[in-house]
Amino acid sequence: MRKDSPETPLDAIDRRILTLLQREGRLTNADLAERINLSASACHRRVKRLEASGVIRDYVAMLDPRAVGRRATVFVEVTLTGQSEELLDAFESAVARVPDVLECHLMAGVADYLLKVLARDSDDFARIHRQHLTRLPGVREMHSSFALRTVFGATALPLD
């Protein structure tokens, strides 16, 4: 959903559709309709409406980072030299182009941004830091923390 769009009202059937699709995104429309007790055409219309309204943003394959050689998860707190709109825009635009950064969050608190970086190992993170992170506009300081182990990670949003 676009960040400036209003929240889309969801009924119980929409929530069941979304819950199933979050868990099993490759369900066919026929299987989805059967599991929620709806006709295939009605189910298809609802899914299309959820896509058009931006509730369903995309369909992706979730990869195991370790299986593709990304064993190090690093959280980087970034503090900028200022808070001007131009500086924030410049930082956000530049960080979005760093392929190893999976997430970037504007924060309230001590740091201005929190980045989630996936690297092969500590040497690879050193390369990412040197070639990309230190060159981001307006950075005053960074603090990096290596995750020792991911206890759990969810991709499904709660729809209660």
Q: Specify if 5 maps to a domain.
A: no
Q: 119 and 78, same structural domain?
A: yes
pTM over 0.85: yes
Q: Are 95 and 112 in contact (CB under 8 A)?
A: no
What does each C-alpha distance from 138 to 35, 45, 60, 156 come to in angstroms?
51, 47, 33, 34
Backbone CA torsion sign across 126, 129, 134, 139? negative
Report the number of distinct structural domains present in the chain: 2
CATH code where residue 99 lies: 3.30.70.920
**How far is 118 from 102, CA to CA, in rounded Å?**
7
Identify each DSSP E strand in 70-159 by its residue range.
72-80, 101-106, 113-119, 139-146
Q: State the pLDDT at residue 1.
A: 41
Q: What percent of the chain has pLDDT over 70?
A: 96
State the pLDDT confidence band at 8, using cuts at 50, 70 and 90.
confident
> What's the rounded mean pLDDT across residues 93-98?
98
Same domain for 69 and 44: no
Count helices and strands (H / E) in the chain: 5, 4
Structure confidence by residue, pLDDT tens digits, 133-148: 999 999 999 999 999 9
Range of the domain at 114: 65-146
> For 43-67, how does the pLDDT look when each residue is reduced to its tens digit (9 = 90+)?
999 999 999 999 999 999 999 999 9
